[in-house]
């Protein structure tokens, strides 16, 4: 490797020893006879000091560095209580690995506010900022701990197709693609496939999945390409078994993040105080009562953004389930309970982060439901076949990763939570 140490690895044991560090030149100051640079690596920053009279050639090369150039620097690690970390590298040898063009399209350390589009246009530079990196470290932790919980509970990690001939399963618009001359679609969720897997005997599956949705949203909570934790589980008694997994997975991941990621949480100024389990349940009928006090809302209406905001103002808890939705508010595969669906949404500070349900497993009932909703069963033949030769009762949920992070980290825009966001206007970088 090009470095002997990361900034974070150096301590008193290394003083007076020769070390090699590597990273980005965040800042450089030339005082004439002496010059200082701040070098940034994955874990932190360190000072490099160059002295002109020691090596004029080297000094010249050092002070010619542009900000954000990538270098490898070798020298003695010297104690200096006045600088960051309490030590500096006294420069002896340097290799310029990549000289950065100047001026930079945006700064990394400047306090000047750049607009969000400029940040996204220059995302690789934007991601050099500590607070932006921290989001993705927490994202990684969330996925790791959610998976850890699901693995403990016997879920099998699977990957289902993202290109399919089966058209939209719900009201969502899908991206149409040309598949060797045939029409195909990018999946809007793994819904149909994870249900099909319930007919195999795997019993419990999870997928860290891509969703592609061709909706022309222009909101701070919708992406056209997003990721989710999807689960499906068989032999459930009701949707309550699925809700238990959703809340326990959230609680487990949050607790582990609080234990392991305090550095990132501090950087982002978040101290999430989550309620203990079980999370509150609010029936759709109660939601109607609450909303009708302050807005026009009919039983059967969809709970949209305005409704979610108003509801959260009237509920003390920051995270809660809405349960017992009207059947017509949920997709065809949701299991009915009279005029209700055995379905739930998980709301986090007034925004849906997950939807789930017990599904219909009975072939005839499924056909009947699709006919009632005038869905062309021809488009779903392979899906329906999975229900003909032995399908156990089952249910599951889709849980938006960016949605969770946005709420957990109090971020204003969902685009902060995905590396290279895709929205109606943005297809690059």
Interface residue list for ligand ATP (CB under 6 A)? 189, 211, 213, 222-223, 226, 228, 352-355, 398, 400, 402-403, 414
Q: Which residue in the list 221, 359, 369, 394 is annotated as catalytic?
A: 221
* Residue 222 designated active-site: yes
- Strand, helix or coil at 302? coil
Nearest residue (CB) to ligand ATP, 88 versus 308: 308
Nearest residue (CB) to ligand ATP, 62 versus 325: 325
Contact 286, 321 (CB under 8 A): no
Nearest residue (CB) to ligand ATP, 356 versus 393: 356
Nearest residue (CB) to ligand ATP, 79 versus 159: 159
Distance CA 249, CA 121 (A): 34
Question: Any contact of residue 226 with Mg ion (CB under 5 A)?
Answer: no
Geometric angle at alpha carbon 406, from 403 and 328, rounded to 5°: 30
Residue of minimal CB distance from Mg ion?
355
Distance CA 16, CA 3 (A): 17
Beta carbons within 8 Å of 87's beta carbon, 6+ residues apart: 10, 14, 15, 46, 47, 77, 78, 79, 80
Distance CA 24, CA 125 (A): 11
Question: Any contact of residue 191 with Mg ion (CB under 5 A)?
Answer: no
- Pick the closest to residue 146 from 223, 228, 204, 203 (CA basis): 228
Q: Which residue in the list 69, 189, 226, 355 is annotated as catalytic?
A: 355
Q: In what order do the strands lie in the sheet with 163-164?
A: 163-164, 182-186, 176-179
The CB-of-223 to ligand ATP minimum distance in angstroms stands at 4
The CB-of-247 to ligand ATP minimum distance in angstroms stands at 14
- Pick the closest to residue 4 from 18, 15, 16 (CA basis): 18
Distance CA 344, CA 64 (A): 60
* Residue 215 designated active-site: yes
Question: Any contact of residue 261 with Mg ion (CB under 5 A)?
Answer: no
Distance CA 73, CA 19 (A): 8
Q: Which residue in the list 215, 225, 260, 317 is annotated as catalytic?
A: 215
Q: Which residue in the list 123, 352, 422, 426 is annotated as catalytic?
A: 352
Nearest residue (CB) to ligand ATP, 134 versus 334: 334
* Residue 119 designated active-site: no
The CB-of-229 to ligand ATP minimum distance in angstroms stands at 9
**Beta-carbon-side half-sphere exposure of residue 387 (alpha carbons within 13 Å):** 20
Nearest residue (CB) to ligand ATP, 395 versus 398: 398
Out of ligand ATP, Mg ion, none, what residue 5 binds, judged by CB under 5 to 8 A for its kind, is: none
Backbone angles phi, psi at 215, to 5 degrees: -80, 140
Question: Any contact of residue 69 with Mg ion (CB under 5 A)?
Answer: no
The CB-of-351 to ligand ATP minimum distance in angstroms stands at 7
- Strand, helix or coil at 267? helix
The CB-of-355 to Mg ion minimum distance in angstroms stands at 3
* Residue 355 designated active-site: yes
* Residue 213 designated active-site: yes
328-367 residues near Mg ion, rule: CB under 5 A: 355
- Pick the closest to residue 84 from 44, 111, 50 (CA basis): 44
Binding site for Mg ion (CB under 5 A): 355
Catalytic residue numbers, as ranges: 213, 215, 221-222, 352, 355, 403
């Amino acid at each position: 490797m090009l470095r002997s140490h990361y900034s974070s690895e150096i301590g008193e044991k290394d003083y007076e020893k020769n070390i090699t560090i590597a990273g980005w030149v965040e800042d450089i100051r030339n005082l004439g006879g002496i010059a200082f640079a701040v070098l940034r690596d994955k874990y932190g920053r360190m000072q490099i000091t160059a002295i002109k009279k020691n090596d004029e050639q080297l000094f010249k090369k050092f002070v010619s560095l542009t900000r954000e150039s990538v270098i490898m620097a070798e020298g003695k690690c010297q104690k200096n209580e006045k600088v960051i970390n309490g030590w500096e590298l006294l420069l002896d040898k340097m290799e310029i690995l990549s000289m950065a063009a100047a001026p930079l399209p945006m700064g990394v350390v400047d306090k000047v506010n750049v607009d969000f589009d400029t940040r996204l246009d220059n995302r690789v530079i934007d991601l050099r900022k500590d607070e932006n990196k921290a989001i993705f470290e927490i994202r990684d932790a969330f996925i790791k701990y959610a998976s850890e919980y699901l693995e403990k509970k016997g879920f099998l990690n699977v990957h289902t197709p993202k290109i399919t001939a089966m058209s939209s399963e719900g009201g969502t618009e899908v991206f149409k693609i040309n598949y060797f001359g045939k029409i195909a679609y990018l999946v809007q969720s793994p819904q149909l496939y994870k249900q099909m897997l319930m007919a195999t005997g795997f019993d419990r599956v999870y997928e860290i999945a891509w969703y592609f949705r061709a909706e022309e949203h222009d909101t701070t909570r919708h992406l056209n390409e997003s990721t989710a934790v999807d689960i499906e589980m068989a032999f459930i008694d009701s949707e309550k078994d699925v809700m238990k997994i959703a809340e326990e997975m959230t609680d487990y991941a949050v607790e582990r993040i609080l234990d392991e990621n305090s550095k990132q949480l501090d950087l982002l100024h978040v101290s999430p105080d989550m309620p203990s389990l079980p999370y509150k349940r609010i029936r759709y009928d109660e939601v109607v009562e609450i909303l009708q006090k302050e807005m026009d809302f009919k039983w059967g209406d969809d709970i949209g953004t305005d409704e979610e905001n108003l509801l959260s103002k009237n509920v003390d808890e920051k995270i809660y389930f809405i349960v017992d939705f009207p059947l017509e508010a949920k997709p065809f595969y949701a299991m009915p309970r009279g005029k209700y669906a055995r379905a739930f949404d998980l709301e986090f500070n007034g925004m849906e982060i997950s939807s789930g349900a017990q599904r219909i497993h009975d072939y005839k009932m499924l056909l009947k439901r699709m006919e009632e909703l005038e869905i062309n069963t021809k488009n779903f033949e392979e899906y329906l076949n999975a229900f003909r030769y032995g399908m156990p009762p089952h249910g599951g949920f889709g849980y938006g990763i960016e949605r969770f992070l946005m709420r957990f980290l109090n971020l204003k825009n969902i685009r902060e939570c995905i590396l290279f966001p895709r929205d109606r206007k943005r297809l690059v970088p």
